[in-house]
Amino acid sequence: MSQDIVVIGAGIIGISIAAELVQQGHRVRVLDRSGVAAETSKGNAGAFAFTDVMPLATPGIMRKAPKWLLDPLGPLSIPPRYALKIAPWMLRFWRASWRDRFETSVAAQSALMDLSRSALERQIATHGAEHLIQRDGQLQLFEGETQFRDSLPGWELRGQYGIKYDLLRSPEEIAEIQPGLDRRFTHAGFTPDWINTTDPQIWTEHLAQSVVNAGGEIVDCDIQSISTVGGRVQLTHDGGSLTADKVIVAAGAWSHHLARTLGDRIPLETERGYNTTLPAGAFDVRTHLTFGAHGFVVSRINGGVRVGGAVELGGLKLPPNYRRAKILLEKAKRFLPGLDTAGGRQWMGYRPSIPDTLPVISRSPKSDNVIYAFGHGHLGLTQSAATAELVRDLINKNSSPISLDPYRASRF
């Protein structure tokens, strides 16, 4: 039976969900205050990072916390004026880094990644989108033997979950995959099954057009609160209110504010990420490049180069600190000596982050007619197709291919 469904959020998660539901014959409206891929989904690195199963909260990470405050431009930082506000979230983050929670998170992330990989292929086929895909793998780069040895347990853990990789032990081996790197990078891990899109904004717009072509609607509307009235869900906005049979909250870093109006308190914070996009011809990027020790990546976007990353836990209201983007670009120039840094466009986006690095994909504890799909951190694009299929199964009351228990909203 088709239902009248509203999806709040026109980023990659919301649009993927809408695209899946219209294929099922549901009447779907997507509401967003800014439009399709207008915010975080617009400027990410374009990576489907299926090998990225390690949570941000790793054992021992809290020993590094004092350095975050002392280095506001480092790869993982907290602006001093935001430190007190984020303290409760950090306590949950610390607990998530304990060995028992860490191993549980890795297992749950791996299960979601396995589904995400197959779901993406189904999404590509359904929406005729292979022309927007780059299947060039990924290099994780290390400076010296010590850094490389420290990474080995992580590679072994990936192998346990079936992730393919090759370990490279010389600059010459690395250059066979990606020429032009500084020789300080002596070791690397190559994941051949890594996938990128040619442009995350164009990818999301392509799926959005599929929604419209199938009879769905995408409307500019700023939803302010959620409530339940007579078995239906009521949404208020600045122009009045509307109701629906089901509502899916997929509003990224703003989602927890909407959840709170329904009575659900979910610990979501914002990983503010920065990048610079350089025009075509800036560098011959042949694979996705990850500089893990420096917290940034280099990817190919529409023939140009995008340099970005880092994690700044700074909420939604502090002004952007574009010095972070500048520093990442300066590092990229040192690491890729032939990189032409002229003509770049800077950008900052808000990644919705949950302390245990796992998203919330579940019904609201307050209403079975409200489904949450947010909190993917820097893995929103990666996990979007799988999230869409899991939400579809919740809507249709079908069993899910993986357990949804690790992603339930009530786990906090």
* CATH of range 4-42+202-266+357-411; options 3.40.630.180, 3.50.50.60, 3.40.250.10, 3.40.50.720: 3.50.50.60
Q: Can you name the residues that pair with 363 across neighbouring β-strands?
A: 371
- Residue 58 pLDDT: 82
Instruction: Check: CB of residue 210 under 8 Å from CB of residue 199.
Output: no
Cα distance between residue 237 and residue 271, in whole Å: 27
For 105, residues 6+ apart whose C-beta sits below 8 A from its C-beta are: 55, 57, 96, 356, 357, 358, 406
For residue 69, the model assigns a pLDDT of 62
Structural contact between residues 15 and 36, judged by C-beta atoms closer than 8 angstroms: yes
Q: What is the pTM for the complete model shown?
A: 0.94
Largest Cα span, the chain: 67
Distance CA 360, CA 407 (A): 5
Instruction: Assess whether pLDDT exceeds 60 at residue 99.
Output: yes
**φ and ψ of 70, to 5 deg:** -85, -20
Specify the higher pLDDT residue, 54 or 197: 197
What the block records as the tokens of 318 is 């502090």
Helix (H, G, I), strand (E, B) or coil at 373: strand
Q: Using pLDDT thresholds of 50, 70 and 90, give the confidence band for residue 101.
A: confident
Helix (H) / strand (E) element for 191: namely: strand 187-191
Gap between the Cα atoms of 352 and 319, Å rounded: 17
Task: Determine the pLDDT at residue 2.
Answer: 57
Is residue 20 a contact partner of residue 389, using CB atoms and an 8 Å limit?
A: yes
Residue 376 DSSP label: B
Question: Which residues are paired to 9 by β-bridges?
Answer: none
For the cut 90, the answer to whether the pLDDT of residue 122 exceeds it is: yes
Contact 349, 43 (CB under 8 A): yes
The residues spanned by each domain of the chain are 4-42+202-266+357-411, 54-90+134-194+268-353
Q: How confident is the model at residue 328 (pLDDT cuts 50, 70, 90)?
A: very high
CA–CA distance, 107 with 165 (Å, rounded to integer): 19
* Residues 6+ positions from 181 with CB-CB distance below 8 Å: 141, 171, 174, 175, 289, 335, 336
Closest CA to 385 of 170, 191, 6, 114: 114
Contact of 385 with 204, CB cutoff 8 Å: no
| Domain topology for 54-90+134-194+268-353 | D-Amino Acid Oxidase; Chain A, domain 2 (3.30.9)
Backbone conformation region of residue 309, classed left if phi is above 0, alpha if psi is from -120 to 50, else beta:
left
pLDDT grade for 1, boundaries at 50, 70 and 90:
very low
Q: What is the pLDDT of residues 198-235, one digit of tens each?
A: 999 999 999 999 999 999 999 999 999 999 988 899 99
